Amino acid sequence: MTEKSTDVYSEIDEELEFTDEQTEELLKLNEKEIQILILSELKKITSLLNQRKSKR
C-alpha cells in the first residue's frame, strides 16, 4: 500500500462499535444486503479519493 493510500484510509478509518441491538440487526442481514453495505462503503472511499485527486 502506498503512503497516499494509507493517508486516505487513515482519514476514513472509524472505530466500529455496535450495541448488542445493532449487532443482532446486522446478523439478520442476508447476503445481498451485506453486499449493498459493502458497496456503499466502497463508494464513500472512492468519493474521498476522487476529492483528494481533484484538489491537486
Instruction: Give 3-46 pLDDT, tens digit per residue.
Output: 565 666 666 666 667 899 999 998 999 999 999 999 998 898 88
The dihedral through the CA atoms of 42, 45, 50, 53 has a sign that is negative
Q: Are the C-beta atoms of residues 52 and 11 closer than 8 Å to each other?
A: no
The dihedral through the CA atoms of 11, 45, 41, 35 has a sign that is negative
CA distances from 36 to 3, 11, 43 (A): 29, 22, 10
Q: Residue 31: its pLDDT value, please? A: 95
Q: Residue 14: its pLDDT value, please? A: 63
